[in-house]
Amino acid sequence: MTDLTLAFDDNEYLPAVAQDAASGEVLMLAYVTEEALEKTRETGYAHYYSRSRDELWKKGGTSGHTQEIEEVRVDCDGDALLYLVDQSGGACHTGYESCFYRTVDGEEVGKQVFDPDDVY
């Protein structure tokens, strides 16, 4: 197996979708650099790149809500990644299991699994 060519964008980012490998729930969308992807594959834990803080970060580094990697997939044109993960705690800093806890109409449909005041 050879690694596929990845189409990082002009800023050297690729979007990565994290999905709970067990429940199938889509947890979050964040960005990776080549270095963040390497760290992810090397350590077996999801790493991303914060575009606002301009730094590599390990998911759960502060909260303990890590994402253990089961598989990393790439899409047909190599410009998006899918992380299949085993999520500890909740993925969202708001305490919800998934960052996608609301419909676009503002209705809450997600499940809160921790109290952010206890964690951060």
- As annotated, the binding site for Zn(2+) includes 76, 92, 99
Q: CA distances (Å), 70 to each of 22, 52, 114, 116, in order? A: 10, 27, 23, 26
d(CA 78, CA 44): 21
What residues have CB less than 8 Å from 58, skipping those under 6 apart? 39, 43, 45, 46, 47, 66
Residue 24 interacts with a copy of itself (CB under 8 A): yes or no: yes
Specify the residue, 66 or 83, whose C-beta has the smaller distance to a copy of itself. 83
Residue 13 interacts with a copy of itself (CB under 8 A): yes or no: no
Which parts are annotated binding residues for Mg(2+)? 75, 77, 79
Interface mask toward a copy of itself for 80-109; x: CB under 8 A: xxx---------xxx-x--xxxxxxxxx-x
Interstrand relation of 55-58 and 47-50 (parallel, antiparallel or unpaired)? antiparallel
Interface mask toward a copy of itself for 40-59; x: CB under 8 A: -x------------------
Q: How far is CA 57 from the centre of its chain?
A: 11
| Residues lying near a copy of itself in the complex (CB under 8 A) | 1-4, 6, 15, 17, 19, 23-26, 28-29, 37, 41, 71-77, 80-82, 92-94, 96, 99-107, 109
